[in-house]
A and B are shown apart, each in its own frame.
Chain A
Amino acid sequence: MPVQVETHARLDDAVRACAQSANARFFGGGTLLMRAVNEGDQSFDRIIRCSDPVLREIRMDGNAISIGAGVTMLEVMENRDTAFLAPVARIVGGPAVRSAATIGGNLYADLPYGEMTTALLALGATIRFAGDAQGVSIDDFLRDRASRRNRVVQSISIPRVGDAANFRFVKVTRVKPKGAALMSIAAYLNRSSGSGGIRVAYGNMGPMPVRALAVERALEGASLDERGIARALEVATEGLEPPTDAFASSWYRREVAPVHLKRLLLGSGRA
């Protein structure tokens, strides 16, 4: 079945086109969609592109930063306002992937991908669909992701991270300098904001990025030293069901998660 490609200049036209067909896919940078086209994937027969510049905007919005879904990893790295996310964007594929791969497309990336989404989950991002002023929390978005295939994400809103040290991220790979993630961990340690200011998320420790809720609870009010984080390490994989795949077994992931979490929390940078 040949695929049909439509390009719209206005976002609302693109949204309408997506809504009309269950077999349509919105086009971000195409790094995953074009792979699927090359493979002859039959699960979609329409690609909807949109050249509306609104999708490429990065703007400050009070205490938040709004990032257009069409912003590429390279643009995230190069923009001053999103500089704290550069360590995440930089590990998505090689340079030629990052010139095309968008932040919106990353939200839908299946395993073993989705490191930016792991980071956005830790940051408590709000996902805004086109035509919907409210937005949904990234937790809700991920829960219902499969059923939202024919909606278009317009932008992603994250808090302005004042102190870059409050945001930590690591991608664990077997191959250096690049490779698919065995796991990734992102932590937003906004301890000055009181209860709920700590969010920790794992990538590749479940079918999609997941919060480490037991770790978050254990870190509430704890100091970031060996003693303070001991309880968090004990419960590092509580409630999680890590997958077994070509990169690692579920057992291995459980074993190494506390090691990488420890390095991340102590800021020893060896993960």
Chain B
Amino acid sequence: MAKKPVQFHLNGEEKAAFVDDGQNLLELLRRGVGDLTPKYGCGQGTCGACTVMIDGKPHLSCITLAETVGGRKVETVGGLGHAGGLHPLQEAFMRNFAAQCGYCTPGMLMAAKALLDRNPRPTREEVVEAISGNICRCTGYEAIINSVLEAAGGQGAMAGRG
């Protein structure tokens, strides 16, 4: 099968790799360029564990054709913390125990980052909507929603706590 070259930016670094026809972006990231932060959950677009950002928008890497990212900017959790520190979203997730097994966390963080980059002061409903394509088996979502609101500095952060 023919291999195709693809060049793209991953978390600000230029990457070049060869992809197979029909290969998805999750495989390219994990196997092709060694970024293991996006997770494989379903391969069907339904769990959100593989969520990354492409040119600032959230995308499901398992159902994204790898070659379509040529020349584009891909962001994963691997690039979220900077200069040794954690991103405010990661800090808030830690403070609120928003990760238990942690499998959904990379996808949740990227879905949340896509929201906050566009809308720095979201309402609770907007946060719920932003993570509505991401499944968490452990937390019951409240801690995640509160973390996103807290990272955004929103006053709604405490509203849903029982």
Q: Which residue of the partner chain, among A4, A96, A177, contacts B21 with CB atoms under 8 Å?
A: A4
What residues of chain B lie closer than 8 Å to A178, measured between beta carbons?
132-133
Interface residue from B21, B43, B59 paired with A38 (Cβ < 8 Å)? B43
Cβ contact within 8 Å between B128 and A177:
yes
Of all chain A residues, the one with the shortest Cβ separation from B20 is A2
Which B residues are in CB contact (< 8 Å) with A100?
Answer: 59-60, 63-64
Q: Which of B2, B43, B58, B65 contacts A96 (CB 8 A)?
A: B58
CB pair A34–B64 under 8 Å, yes or no, is yes
Decide if B133 touches A5 in the complex (CB within 8 Å): no
Chain A residues near B128 (CB, 8 Å)?
177
Interface string of A1-37 (1 = CB under 8 A from B): 0111101000000000000000000010011001101
The residue in chain B whose Cβ has the minimal distance to the Cβ of A4 is: B21
**Least Cβ distance of B11 to chain A in Å?**
18
B107 to chain A, nearest CB (A): 9
Count of chain A residues with Cβ under 8 Å from any Cβ of B?
Answer: 25
> Which one of A31, A35, A95, A177 contacts B114 once the chains associate, using CB atoms below 8 Å?
A95
- Number of B residues whose C-beta is below 8 Å from A? 32
CA of A2 to CA of B67, assembled, Å: 16
A2–B21 touching, CB < 8 Å: yes
Give the interface SS of chain A, mostly helix, strand, loop or mixed.
Answer: mixed
At the interface, yes or no: B51 with Cβ under 8 Å from chain A? yes
B134 at the interface (CB under 8 A from A): yes
Name the distance in Å between B74's Cβ and chain A's nearest Cβ: 13
Q: Contact check, B21 vs A93: say whether CB atoms are below 8 A apart.
A: no
Query: Are the C-beta atoms of A96 and B48 separated by less than 8 Å?
Result: yes
Task: Please encode chain B, from 32 to 62, with 1 for each CB lying within 8 Å of some chain A CB and 0 for all others.
Answer: 0000000000011100100100100111101
Which of A47, A95, A177 is B58 in contact with, Cβ under 8 Å?
A: A95
A211 to B43, CA, bound (A): 34
CB of A261 within 8 Å of the partner chain: no
Is residue B29 contacting chain A, with contact meaning CB distance below 8 A?
no
A27-64 residues at the B interface, CB under 8 angstroms: 27, 30-31, 34-35, 37-39, 47, 49
Interface, chain B (partner A; CB < 8 A): 1-2, 20-22, 24, 43-45, 48, 51, 54, 57-60, 62-65, 67-68, 111, 114-115, 128-134
10 tightest A-B contacts by CB? A94-B133, A34-B63, A96-B58, A3-B22, A99-B57, A178-B132, A38-B43, A5-B21, A94-B132, A37-B22
